[in-house]
Amino acid sequence: MAEEEKQKPQQEPEAEQPAPEAPAEDAAPEEAAAEQAPSEEPAAAEAAPADEQEQLTPKQRRKMERSRAVEPARPQRSPEDRASERAEQRSRKAAERSRWRRKRREKRRAGTSGAQAPTAPEPHERGARKVRRGVVMSSKPDKTITVRIDAVRPHRLYGKVIRSTGTLHAHDEGNQANEGDVVRIVECRPLSRTKRWRLLEVLERAK
């Protein structure tokens, strides 16, 4: 009996030793899973903001960037301060524009002074003015006569003689022409809304 009791205490530690090893093996997969899980979470967290930024408008993206800024906030300003700041900024920009325009004018003047002086335009010869012969149809208005122009010409394709009639308003400064007179008129500058001709001479008086 004494020998059996001596053997039992020696066997009990041997049975107790393998027990701690089993939890160590089970803990290893749990630690590996715990190590993998945090590595996956940041990747998902990084992907989510990227998707959100793609969906945001440029204005919202700028607002988000401003909200993340670490610079200290500026002190609250009164409307008078903001108005004075705007006025100062406008005056500064106006001065910059004035300097830029002055420089541009100087460059243009320097460029034109170096170039050759413009030559005088050649005298323009006046073209031959049109002259028409017709019969005065009306001389009732003051200093204005209505002249009937009769044209007789062959058709350009068929050769048939075609007679056409048109009326022109002419300026008669001295009221020289009367109804039925044969006159010669010449074209001139616009004298009124309808007058583009001027009386040149009276060829025949009405009988």
178 within a domain of the structure (yes/no): yes
65 within a domain of the structure (yes/no): no
105 within a domain of the structure (yes/no): no
167 within a domain of the structure (yes/no): yes
* Entry pTM: 0.42
87 within a domain of the structure (yes/no): no
**Number of structural domains found in the chain:** 1
pLDDT given at position 22:
47
pLDDT in tens, 56-82: 898 998 888 888 877 777 788 899 999
- Regions of the chain where pLDDT drops below 50: 1, 9, 11-13, 15-16, 18-20, 22-29, 32-34, 37-45
Owning domain of residue 150: 131-204
CATH code, domain with 186: 2.40.50.140
192 within a domain of the structure (yes/no): yes
Beta bridge partners of 171: 144, 198
pLDDT given at position 84:
94
56 within a domain of the structure (yes/no): no
* Tokens standing for residue 17: 């030793």
9 within a domain of the structure (yes/no): no
**Is 136 exposed, middle or buried (CB count within 10 Å of its CB: 0-12, 13-18, 19+)?**
buried
- Compute the distance between CA of residue 103 and CA of residue 115 in angstroms, rounded to an integer: 19
- Compute the distance between CA of residue 133 and CA of residue 143 in angstroms, rounded to an integer: 18
C-alpha torsion 69→72→73→75, nearest 10: -160
pLDDT in tens, 148-181: 999 999 999 999 999 999 999 999 999 999 999 9
For the chain, the average pLDDT equals: 80
